[in-house]
Amino acid sequence: MNLSHKDYLKIAFPFIVSTVTQPLLGAVDTAVIGTLGVAELIGGVAIGTVIMNTLYWLFGFFRVSTTGQSAIALGKNNHQELVNSLFRPFVLATIVGLIFIALQSLIWHGAQWVIEPEAAVGQNAKIYFDIMIFGAPFVLLNYTLIGWLMGQAKAKETLFTQVFGNVLNIVLDVLFVVYFDMGIAGVAVATLIAQITTFIIGIVLVWKTCQFSLFDHIRTAKMSRRDLKVIMSSNMDLLLRTVCILVFFNMMARLGSQLGSDVLATNAILMQVTFIISYMFDGVANASSVFAGKAVGQKNPALLESVIKLNLQWTTGFVAAMTLIMLVFGQHIVLLFTSLPELIQLYDAMTPWLLIFPLVAGYGLTFYGIFTGTGTTRPVRNSTFLTLVVFLLVQFIGVELWGNHGLWLAFTLFYVGRFAFLYPYIDQVRQKCQQ
């Protein structure tokens, strides 16, 4: 089976639209708070976002692994496996989310110790964190629901779920901060409401889109100690990969904080732009994950080769498009976030790093979807660890010599490594279709 561009785009486009709205939330949070004209408030949102994203990214494998297992089960056309691919991560996500709430004080103090924000920034970040922590169970459960829908190639349902929740978040952001003058608390409350709403929509859509009796199969679904061991073992690679990425992002926040509140705020804006670009590529990764998982479920090498080919072609197209956009609009994007002259000046000096970001990051951000969709997770872990080592070595030398430019040099090389160290493992993916 050869996968056509039309087939690929039919799945990829809704995923791209739905995933790109996710970083827009952080961008809108930063932009809305930026209208208040206080750098410490922007820094507070940046630190609070890093803390919450650390928790969510640490267990981001709930979404990634659920998508892969759901896609493989779809390829096998096994109803019980389809239900198990949703039920098991759903139970684990509930448990982990409740643990986050129970340990919120410990999490906050640990984050303070790691990031060491300035006093004013830390106070604002605490307001944000104290509200956002109660959304943790809903975020993790949303990972499993959306991941399962993605694995079933339910692109429209995925699009509706994410876009509706994210647009609601954006509207409430503006309402609570601009009109009700709730400050950082308004941003956090808006996000919490959107997270709960997204969860409700996800549950309804999963139930309605099933082509079989979900209730009958849920009653027979179970998770024995052996099942739990297998799940945790298969996800450990993704967990360790996530830990490496979290070390990377937290080091970016820590070093930016040490360079001063203005640099921290500027980096927060720069990072929001890179997040938006990254999530554009993530939509391609999600589509590749679905088709690659289906290829493994069907034991179809020809389908897998088509996925690999189209992944590279579409990534190249997005690299060119994103680079052109940054070339034309890159220097003006900062005005969407802040009007502070000192932040604009710092941002202007860093725009060359944004210009090259699509080229250095694009292929690594999309290609990993082929690996996770087929359950070939160890290469993802190994390549991410190696690229983290490169980042740590370069930032250790670079920040001392070139300040924030040294930090962004290390940032750039981290994304280069995510493809350079991963691509050599592609034959392990091909073997999955022949076993």
Q: What is the mean pLDDT of residues 353-374?
A: 91
Sequence-ordered list of residues with C-beta below 8 angstroms from that of 78, at least 6 positions apart, any chain: none
Sequence-ordered list of residues with C-beta below 8 angstroms from that of 164, at least 6 positions apart, any chain: 197, 198, 201
Specify the number of domains making up the chain.
1
In this predicted structure, what is the pLDDT of residue 417? Answer: 94
Residue 310 has pLDDT above 80, yes or no: yes
The least confident of 125-134, 255-264, 346-355, 380-389 is 255-264
Residue type, 159: L
Q: What is the pLDDT of residues 66-121, one digit of tens each?
A: 777 777 777 777 777 777 778 878 888 899 999 999 999 999 888 888 777 777 77
More confidently predicted of 122 and 319: 319
In this predicted structure, what is the pLDDT of residue 383? Answer: 94
In this predicted structure, what is the pLDDT of residue 214? Answer: 58
Residue type, 375: G
Give me the percent of the chain exceeding a pLDDT of 90.
Answer: 24
Q: What is the CA radius of gyration of the chain?
A: 21
- What is the pTM assigned to this prediction? 0.73
Using 50, 70 and 90 to split pLDDT, how confident is the model at 388?
very high
Neighbours of 95 (CB within 10 A): 10
Using 50, 70 and 90 to split pLDDT, how confident is the model at 50?
confident
Structure tokens, 262: 């203005």
Average pLDDT, the chain: 83
In this predicted structure, what is the pLDDT of residue 425? Answer: 93
Q: Is the distance from CB of 132 to CB of 53 less than 8 angstroms? A: no
DSSP per-residue string spanning 84-103: HHHHHHHHHHHHHHHHHHHT
Residue 231 has pLDDT above 80, yes or no: no
Using 50, 70 and 90 to split pLDDT, how confident is the model at 20?
low
Sequence-ordered list of residues with C-beta below 8 angstroms from that of 427, at least 6 positions apart, any chain: none
Using 50, 70 and 90 to split pLDDT, how confident is the model at 376?
confident
Angle between helices 301-329 and 341-373 (to 10 degrees): 170
Domain that holds residue 222: 5-432
